[in-house]
Amino acid sequence: MRNPHLVEVPVKGMDCAECAHHVQQAIAKLRGVESVEVLLAAEKAVIRLDPAHVDLTAIREAVESAGYTVPDTATPANASMNQFSRQMAILLAVVFAIVLGIVVAGEWLGLFDQLNELIPLPIGIALVIAGGWPVFRNVARATLRRQITSHTLMTLGVIAALIVGEWVAAAIVVIFMRVGDYVERFTAESARRAVKELTALAPQMARVERNGAEVEVPVAEVQPGDVVIVRPGEQIPVDGEVMAGYATIDQAAITGESMPVEVSAGSRVFAATLAKLGSLRVKALRVGADTTFGRVITLVEEAEAHRGEVQRLADRFSAYYLPVVASIAALTFLISRNPLATAAVLVVACSCSFALATPVAMLAAIGASAKRGLLIKGGKYLEALTKADVVLIDKTGTVTLGQPRITDVISLNGLSAPEALRLAATAERYSEHPLAEAVRAFARAQNLTLAEPEHFTALPGMGVQAKIDGTTITVGNRRLIPAAAALPIAEQLEAEGKTLLAVARDGEPIALIAAADTLRPEAPAAIADLRALGIRHIELLTGDNERTAAAIAGELGVQYRAQLLPEDKIAVVKAYQAQGHTVVMVGDGVNDAPALAQADVGIAMGAAGADIAIEAAHIALMRNDWMLVPQVLRIARRTMGVVKLNIGFTAVYNLVGLTLAASGLLPPTLAAAAQSLPDLGILANSARLLRQR
């Protein structure tokens, strides 16, 4: 395909995975469509297409032919948990009231039989067709596309009831078809609720400096480089750098942590965070969907595309379930010759409940977790976490604070310590490694003036090399400069648990720089928590020297491997996977990106604002808190517990319903009522995930 474009199209009317599958099939058949992913939670289709062959009109027609609509604009929704609980209570009360009315008035008092006798059959048929027309129309469209839906079977049940003259029973079935549609829409909407509440946090307006004046504009009109004014109590609308001002910022929308942070000139700030005290002038660096918050929303919306094996099994089961039910109905008629029992079998079957059992729980967990600063990219990673038995940990910036401080600068070959430090800091000027920042900060504290390196090269896992004043300055570990690392003083510094950097000029060692990092205070407790959760093998992986690694690993009580390059870490992950282990890799997402991507589940620590961390990891923790690691394992296990309960409840419910219907003990009217209830059970069970502590 030439010049493929990626477009997003909103789709309304989808209630379950079966609906999304039908929309996906309809769009995929269009000429010029390379790929399509229909996202139930986000109510949209993400399509890669050739604009020369397919446009929005063709896509709209394909979606409408499948029985759904493409609105001009998506309408965001937001509701509190209290409102959700009230809505669910009202819905339950209405459904049970209708069921009770049918049981008492219809079945026990025999009013349905009286209505059948009083109202002529043609009028009854007309009433049934009028009441069920929207459903019958969609069934006809699906049939023309050779698709079978749950409504197809219920429609056959309605036809069977009409054939034997039971138009009232057919009408009751139609009523519950419509009630069932509402229940499914309510269930799907409730699954989307956490995602939409997250989306509703996005700022809509921004106050921008234009031609010397402050102008309030929609966020979509803000451009990188614009200066944005933020007043007390207002949301920051962009990712940017503070140019002037001072404020305390509530970053809960990004990190899930409501403890405010203080920012001033030079600080980074993020969209959707709240300025509680103080005013700011912020230079916009990223706007709209490119902000950290915008990317979080996108990834959460697209999380359902990464389906776990449980969900794929449920989807496959749904595809075979309806033909099986049709076969059971045929056998029922052949054995009993009872058309009403046959109709009841067709009506009681509820395939949507199987399709909803997994995604409703996954979407609830992923959406609720995102609001707490845990960005989970899909159900497959939650499922993998429940099987995890190996956890690998990066050191610098992950299990340590990542803010090493320089403790010693030892000059060699007669060079002064300040000059050696100046050369090292200049060489490290463009490095992103925490040790490089420590060297630069120490040089600034010594009031040293850094030069501009003529040439800079990063050597992953080893150090950096730069051209300064016509000479080549190399700064790195013992792997890069073994001669300096072999000195007795180097061994002494490493024995103290310090990280050593050697400095060489034109290949000759000129200085040693020692740095010390601090273990995160909550890390030992988090490691103990992981062991309590059943993770038996925890290992520290670091590019640092043997002695420093041993000191940190000793404090954590874990095994370790030292002096590893990034490719060595990947090899460790692969080795465990080859042995059949499910591997979790925890890193800071910068130099650990390849290992995070290779692991079954990669968890990036403190990923707020870090592009590579959010992209490479499967789970991004938006703040640096090690207690979030065992917490996300608990969320995964709880979510999978809810999923299994949903599937088990649905299977038992449908089995009992089919048995009662086939035996003639469940009339079509009550069968229609019964098929509406599994969705509510799934919703009630999954709603527990929205309230996780």
CATH number at residue 14: 3.30.70.100
For residue 50, being part of any structural domain is answered with yes
Cα Rg of the chain (Å, integer): 31
Would you state the pLDDT for residue 138? 80
For residue 691, being part of any structural domain is answered with no
Would you state the pLDDT for residue 248? 87
Would you state the pLDDT for residue 578? 95
Would you state the pLDDT for residue 75? 40
Contact status, residue 540 vs residue 524, Cβ threshold 8 Å: no
Residues 6 or more apart in contact with residue 493 via CB below 8 angstroms: 408, 500, 512, 514
pLDDT tens by residue, 318-355: 667 778 888 898 999 899 888 888 888 888 876 677 77
Residues 391 and 537 placed together within one structural domain of the fold: yes
What is the rounded CA–CA span in Å between residue 139 and residue 143? 6
Residues 563 and 481 placed together within one structural domain of the fold: no
Residues 6 or more apart in contact with residue 248 via CB below 8 angstroms: 260, 261, 262, 263, 275, 276, 277, 278
For residue 236, being part of any structural domain is answered with yes
Residues 544 and 585 placed together within one structural domain of the fold: yes
For residue 693, being part of any structural domain is answered with no
Sign of CA dihedral 504, 425, 417, 478: negative
Residues 531 and 435 placed together within one structural domain of the fold: no
What is the rounded CA–CA span in Å between residue 398 and residue 218? 38
**Domain of 235?**
223-286
C-alpha pair distances (Å), 13 with each of 17, 30, 367, 374 = 12, 21, 21, 29
Residues 587 and 449 placed together within one structural domain of the fold: no
Instruction: Residue 476: give its domain's CATH number.
Output: 3.40.1110.10
Contact status, residue 106 vs residue 112, Cβ threshold 8 Å: yes
Instruction: Residue 229: give its domain's CATH number.
Output: 2.70.150.10
Residues 528 and 497 placed together within one structural domain of the fold: no
Q: How far is CA 18 from the centre of its chain?
A: 21
Please identify every stretch of the chain with a pLDDT value under 70, giving residue numbers as ranges.
1-4, 15-18, 40-42, 72-113, 148, 150, 180, 183-198, 256-259, 301-308, 311-312, 314-316, 318-319, 350-351, 485, 589-591, 607-613, 691-693
Tokens 């080795």, residue? 575
pLDDT tens by residue, 12-34: 877 666 677 778 888 888 888 88
Which of 516, 533, 555 is the last residue in one of the domains?
516
Helix residue ranges per DSSP H, 200-308: 252-255, 292-301
Which of 238, 271, 286 is the last residue in one of the domains?
286
Residues 481 and 551 placed together within one structural domain of the fold: no
Instruction: Residue 551: give its domain's CATH number.
Output: 3.40.50.1000
What percent of the chain stands above pLDDT 90? 18
For the chain, the domain total comes to 4
What is the rounded CA–CA span in Å between residue 333 and residue 431? 76
Residues 483 and 573 placed together within one structural domain of the fold: no
Burial of 216 (0-12, 13-18, 19+ CB in 10 A): exposed
- Rounded to two decimals, the pTM is 0.70
What is the rounded CA–CA span in Å between residue 293 and residue 239? 9
Would you state the pLDDT for residue 82? 47
For residue 640, being part of any structural domain is answered with no
Which of 625, 644, 664 is the last residue in one of the domains?
625
Clarify whether 394 is annotated catalytic: yes
Would you state the pLDDT for residue 591? 67
Residues 409 and 396 placed together within one structural domain of the fold: no
For residue 466, being part of any structural domain is answered with yes
- Average confidence score pLDDT of the chain: 81
For residue 273, being part of any structural domain is answered with yes
Phi, psi of 10 (to 5 degrees): -70, 140
For residue 325, being part of any structural domain is answered with no
Would you state the pLDDT for residue 150? 67
C-alpha pair distances (Å), 329 with each of 342, 428, 567, 661 = 5, 75, 59, 9
Residues 392 and 462 placed together within one structural domain of the fold: no
Residues 6 or more apart in contact with residue 316 via CB below 8 angstroms: none
Catalytic residue among 15, 181, 239, 394: 394
N residues, the chain: 693
Residues 552 and 483 placed together within one structural domain of the fold: no
Residues 444 and 427 placed together within one structural domain of the fold: yes
